[in-house]
Structure 1
Amino acid sequence: MIFKELLNYYETFVACFSLSYILFYIFLAILSYTAIKKHINTKYFIHDDILAKSNHVIGVSVVAPAFNEGANVVYNVKSLLSLTYPKFEVVIVNDGSTDDTLEKLINEFELVKVDFFYQEKIETRPVKSHYKSTNPLYSKLLVVDKENGKSKADASNAGINSTKYPLFLCTDVDCILKGDTIIKLAKPFMESEKRIIATGAGIRISNSCEVKDGFLVKVHFPSGWYPRFQELEYVRAFLFGRMAWSQINSLLLVSGGLGMFDKEVAIAAGGYWHKSLGEDMELITRMRKHMYENNLDFAIKYIPESLCWTEVPATKTVLITQRVRWARGLIQTLYLHKNLFFNRKYGRTGFLIFPYFFAFEFLVPILEFIGVIVLILCFIFLDINYTYFLYLTLTVYLFYLIITIISIFLDDRLYKNYANIKEIATLILMAMIEPIFYHPVNVYASLKGYLHFIRKKEQSWGNMQRIGFNTQKK
């Protein structure tokens, strides 16, 4: 009898939680639509070609950490050097690679060691040397060689310390950026009345794309199962999630693969935390805290355009490793900054953003796991209301499917990333089976990440075992 009562309470809780989840996503969908429409209406306020030729733009430093990226580092550095912007530099940080990453950079770009005034505004592992090219063609390139810090955060901080411009764009050396990426991300810093402290934009999947010498020749639909599932994730997250949060100035996550930051604020906040496994989210959290604590008005903007292509995990093993790190980074950030929760001093960050991430990002995998256990026990020991269970499951599933399909068609309408109807139909089919074949993998990885956090198990940046663009379709 007691177990039956507890089950009734649990069913009520799940129903209320599911309804709250659906209503909140409807709210985010409305915000996202408003933000995208606003961006389209105002995107030509300052024309990109004017910025590309102006001598009065803000200088930008592109920071790209590299750890064992010998497979494609040369191609991608050339791609970064070809970006269209009047005033920028490229800072590559060799984070103690054990392969031929540094050797390839030295040989290809004719690098030599230089005397460099290195001011360690953010503490990092020791920096061994700085390299510049003897070839004028590569005058914008600076290579920083440092001891391995076991994290992307430590490498990024060394790059930030070495930059000369007031804005820095942090990316991954394996990422392929669209030619006008710097222009798009820097525009809000020059247009907004508020102080912009960070900007971000959409990231797409480069798996199966045609890439030649570090340049994206043609976008192709991912061929593998896991990359296709991740395509769905990226479309939903960037179009529905981050555009909505940007609309109400509540972004807590600017992707580590593509984010531009105000260097002064980032340094004042302490830079990336070298122990963090979710360094992008953790930095934004501290930057927001810094602005609140100093009573400074600020904004973080998101651009609803695909500006970056990156290789994603192609196998379940590599995917789980990545998602374990992400999950651990989430709980790590929430725990480290727990004083933000419902703290009036931190405004909507404390009353809206952190509670959302705790309830709908952190708790969901745990609740799903408990739900499966309860369901199994009920099937064995109790007669449950199968009709109620079916309706609830079907409602959540159909809502998820509708949101995903809207995201796919909106993405195609805005950016024309898909070659034909067949690719769109394939993506919709993947969305239909995602909850069965892909979602459980993410839940498992999240729970494993939480367990690693509780057990304080060490996990370093590591290597994602990339295929390398030179082996992709040419």
Structure 2
Amino acid sequence: MIFLFLSFSVILVYLFLMILSALEMRDHRRRNRFSDYGDIITSPMAPGVSILAPAYNEGQTIVQNVKSLLSLHYGKFEVIIINDGSKDDTLAKLIAAFELEVTDFAYYEEIIANPVRGIYKSKNRSYNRLIVIDKENGGKADALNAGINVSSKELLACIDVDCILSHESLTRMVRPFMEETNRKVIAVGGVIGIANNCDVQDGTVTKYRIPTTLLGRFQVIEYCRAFLMGRMAWTRVNGLMLISGAFGFFNRELVIEVGGYFPKTVGEDMELVVRMRRYMEERNIPYKVGFVPDPLCWTEVPENEEILSRQRNRWIRGTIETLQLHRVIRFNPNYNFMGMLSYPYWNVFEKMAPVLELMGLIYTLILIIIGDFSAFYFIALFIVLYLLSLLVSSFSILYEQISYNNYKDRKDLNKLILTILLEPLFIHPKIVYWGLGGHWDFIKGKGGWGQMIRTGFKKSEDKKNMEPNNLNL
């Protein structure tokens, strides 16, 4: 009976999220239909933005990535590249390309981080927005903390250095900070698009295509579900607990107040958001965690099972670590919506989902062995859950097509529909297995990110030449 209750709880929760996300998407489109983001660029009231981009062994692409960041359309911003103890020629290429020299920068360690070996600025005034920090290796969270210490603007834009940002990304992401009057906006997240098999020119995606592999296409659907449905829904009720580490904006003053990123977790992005929310809740300060559903950032996703499994293992470990660190929130009315709904949802439907599915499988096998198995009940429940999966995935793709229509080729849409049909049968079991591996590794005390190998983005002028890029995560 408990598994029947859990199954129908999943159905009701996802139907509820679909409704909330549809309402939030409708309101977002109405608010922004006639918006002129050019006013934000020139407004003296617009907050400054410090872009923080940790880099480790990014020598092959670092120069082009930094040039792309420096070309963003915004008035007040700085680009801070944190060379986190790279073992390749990342720093040497930055020095040569941007005419960098060591400066007597007054480094004040507001947040503890590994030692900084040098802070560089350019002799060329064309690159006066650029600051490069060279430090001892300490991981992404530690690198971001060093960047926060050097930053000087009101907002922090924490990104992955290899991500592709839209030229309008800063103007669109700072708008929620400027619009809210009755609540303090502490953080804003954005949509992460998948750039595999897309054409990229001058740091901009010029031609959208879906990935060529089934795993890649699955992640297109998954990202649409997560961003255009899940996070839009939680934003509607101000219950968002996660902002992607690849693209998130934060109130600098509050980040420093709560102590910056926590380096001892692999889920530093989620942990920081939860800690900031706890700080506001415990002081009864009205606040909001916002979300911008516009396609402003693109990244490359793994299309190899081994690499994808390590990523999902890391994600589940990060989720468990964050929920364990902040378990005081669980069903605690003092934390309002976050304590009574957001935390329980993440605990059951994100953290425990692989374990519960395994228990359901074991329970079914026991029923078969003892002869108390109803084939009709099992098939009926399986069909209902399968159809729910199709419904949720289809609506997420529908949201993308209605709002942005990036995938205009009918063949691409047909392949996405086919992937939706195949995902519950062939990919979801692997995701569950990798999630169980994350639970087991957490129990064993395994840490670290592992290594992720990228193939590189496809350039419009040369679609055939794709150089391998090793990124040690």
Letter aligned with residue 374 of structure 1:
Y
Q: Relative to structure 1, is the Cα distance of residues 400 and 470 closer, same or farther in structure 2, using a 3 angstrom cutoff?
A: closer
2:18–2:229 Cα contact (<8 Å) kept: yes
Bigger shift: residues 418-427 or 321-330: 418-427
The reply to whether residue 467 of structure 1 matches residue 455 of structure 2 is yes
- In structure 2, relative to structure 1, the CA distance for the partners of 1:190 and 1:46 (3 Å cut) is farther
| Pairing 1:393–2:382 present | yes
Look up the match of 2:229: 240
Residue type of the partner of 2:93? K
Once residues 211 and 85 of structure 1 are traced to their aligned partners in structure 2, the CA distance between those partners, rounded to angstroms, is 21
Q: Residue 178 in 1 paired to residue 186 in 2?
A: no
Q: Partner letter of residue 184 of structure 1?
A: R
- The residue type paired with residue 214 of structure 1 is G
SS of match in other structure, 2:321: helix
Match of 2:469 in 1: none
| Code of the aligned partner of 2:364 | L
In structure 1, give the amino acid aligned to 2:46. Answer: V
Instruction: Name the SS for the 1:438 alignment partner.
Output: helix
Supply the distance in 1 between the matched residues of 2:455 and 2:108 (Cα, whole angstroms). Answer: 36
Q: Are residue 125 (structure 1) and residue 114 (structure 2) matched?
A: yes
Deviates more, 1:15-24 or 1:464-473: 464-473
Query: What residue in structure 2 maps to residue 153 of structure 1?
Result: 141
CA pair 328-250 structure 1, distance change in 2 beyond 3 A:
same
1:212 Cα offset (Å): 3.1
State the Cα deviation string for residues 13-71 of structure 1 (Å, max 9, x = none). Answer: 11111111111111111111111111111125752011122333110011111111222
Quote the residue 2:79 is aligned against: 90
| 1:54 counterpart residue number | 43
Residue among 296, 320, 331 paired with 1:331: 320
CA contact (8 A) 1:206 1:311 kept: yes
Tell me, yes or no, if the aligned pair for 1:67 and 1:463 is still in contact at 8 Å: no
| Partner of residue 35, structure 1 | 24
In structure 2, distance between residues paired with 1:255 and 1:370: 30
Q: Of 403, 407, 411, which residue of structure 1 is paired with 2:400?
A: 411
Please say if residues 159 and 245 of structure 2, whose CA atoms lie closer than 8 Å, have aligned partners that are also in contact.
yes
Secondary structure of residue in 2 paired with 1:68: coil
Equivalent position to 1:106, from 85, 95, 115:
95
1:361-417 deviations in Å (ceiling 9; x for gaps): 111100111222333344444251000000001101101101111111221111011
State the partner residue of 2:470: none
Counterpart Cα distance in 2 of 1:366 and 1:180: 41
**Residue in 2 that maps onto 1:203:** 192
**Paired position in structure 2 for 1:311:** 300
Change (3 A) 1:45 1:419: closer
The structural deviation recorded for 1:112 is 1.0
Residues 1:273 and 2:229 aligned together: no
Whether 1:163 and 2:155 are equivalent positions in the alignment is no
The range that moved more, 45-54 or 97-106, is: 45-54
CA distance in structure 2 between the aligned counterparts of 1:462 and 1:205, rounded to whole angstroms:
21
TM-score by length of 1: 0.94
* Conserved 8 A contact 1:66-1:92: yes
Check the 8 A contact 1:203/1:258 in 2, yes or no: yes
Aligned counterpart for 2:58 among listed residues 61, 69, 89: 69
CA contact (8 A) 1:55 1:86 kept: no
Distance 1:393 1:462 in 2: 35
Change in Cα spacing, 1:277 to 1:295, as seen in structure 2 (3 Å) is same
Report what 1:362 is aligned to: 351
| C-alpha contact (below 8 Å) 1:208/1:223 kept by paired residues | yes
Given that 1:68 and 1:463 are in contact with CA atoms closer than 8 Å, whether structure 2 keeps it comes out as no
CA distance in 1: counterparts of 2:420 and 2:404, whole angstroms: 20
2:142 aligned partner, one-letter code? D
Percent same amino acid among aligned pairs? 46
Quote the Cα distance in structure 2 between the aligned partners of 1:342 and 1:376.
33
CA–CA distance in 1 between the matches of 2:126 and 2:71?
11
Deviations 1:413-448 (A, max 9, x none): 110110222211110110111112211221111111
State the partner residue of 2:468. none
Secondary structure of the equivalent of 2:454?
coil
| Residues 71 and 470 in structure 1, CA contact (< 8 A), matched pair in contact too | no
Counterpart residue number, 2:177: 189
Check the 8 A contact 2:197/2:457 in 1, yes or no.
Answer: no
CA distance in 2, matches of 1:71, 1:436: 38
> Contact 2:242/2:270 (CA < 8 Å) preserved in 1?
yes
Mean Cα deviation higher: 69-78 or 307-316: 69-78
The corresponding residue for 1:300 is 289
- In the alignment, is residue 257 of structure 1 matched against residue 246 of structure 2? yes
Q: Give per-residue Cα distances to partners, 1:443-463, cap 9 Å, x unaligned.
A: 11111111111111232x344
- 1:232/1:431 contact within 8 Å kept: yes
Match of 2:222, SS state, is helix
Alignment check: 8 A CA contact 1:72 1:469 kept: no
- CA deviation string 1:228-273 (max 9, x = no partner): 1111100001011000000111110111111000011111111110
Which amino acid in structure 2 is aligned with residue 99 of structure 1? D
Question: SS where residue 367 of structure 1 aligns?
Answer: helix
- What is the TM-score of this pair, normalised by structure 2? 0.94
Query: 1:324/1:470 Cα in 2 relative to 1: closer, same or farther (>3 Å)?
Result: same
Deviates more, 1:124-133 or 1:215-224: 215-224
- Structure 1 unaligned blocks of 5 or more: 1-11
1:441: which partner in 2? Answer: 430
